[in-house]
Copies of this chain bind each other. A is one copy, B any other.
Amino acid sequence: MTTMHVRARAVVRDLTPYKPGKPIEEVQRELKLSSVIKLASNENALGPSPRALAAVRKAAAQVHRYPESSCPLLRERLATRLKVSPDSLIFGNGSDELIVLALRAFVDPGDSVVVGAPTFLIYELQARACGAQVSVVPLAHYRYDLKAMAAAVTPHTKLVFIANPDNPAGTYVTRKELDLFLRNLPAETIAFLDEAYYEFVDSPDYPQTLQYLERRPLIVTRSFSKAYGLAGLRVGYGVAAPDLVAAMEAVREPFNVNSLAQAGAAAALEDAAFLAKTRKMTAEGRAYLTQEFDRLKIRHVPSVTNFILLDVGPGAAELAQALLKRGVIVREMSGWHLPQCLRVTIGTMPENRRFIQALKQCLTR
B-contacting residues of A (Cβ < 8 Å)?
1-13, 15, 17-18, 20-21, 23-26, 38, 41, 43-48, 52-53, 56-57, 59-69, 72, 87, 93-94, 96-97, 100, 104-109, 122, 126, 129, 131, 158, 188, 190, 217, 225, 229-234, 241-247, 249-251, 253-256, 258-261, 264
Contact = CB atoms under 8 A, between A and B. Distances in A.
A87 B56 contact: no
B106 A7 contact: yes
A8 B250 contact: yes
Contact of A253 (B6, B72, B93): B93
B67 A63 contact: no
B97 A253 contact: yes
Contact of A64 (B3, B47, B59, B249): B47
Centre residue among A44, A72, A258, A259 by max chain B CB count within 10 A: A258
A12 B104 CA distance: 8
5 contacts: A9-B104, A48-B63, A56-B60, A64-B230, A96-B255
Given A9-B105, A96-B255, A231 B53 contact: no
A169 to B, nearest CB: 20
| Among A18, A26, A60, residue most surrounded by chain B Cβ atoms (within 10 Å) | A60
A262 to B, nearest CB: 9
B12 A247 contact: yes
B7 A250 contact: no
A17 B250 contact: yes
A230 B62 CA distance: 9
Contacts of A122: 253-254
Contacts of A107: 9
B260 A65 contact: no
B3 A246 contact: yes
A250 B12 contact: yes
Given A26-B72, A231-B66, A232-B62, A242 B2 contact: yes
A8 B106 contact: yes
Contact of A2 (B38, B63, B87, B104): B87
Contacts of A230: 63-64
Give the residue among A5, A61, A242, A243 with the most B Cβ atoms within 10 A. A5
A72 B100 CA distance: 25
Contacts of A52: 63
A210 to B, nearest CB: 18
Contacts of A53: 60-61, 63
Contacts of A4: 243, 246-247, 250
A354 to B, nearest CB: 18
Contacts of A247: 4-5, 7-9, 12-13
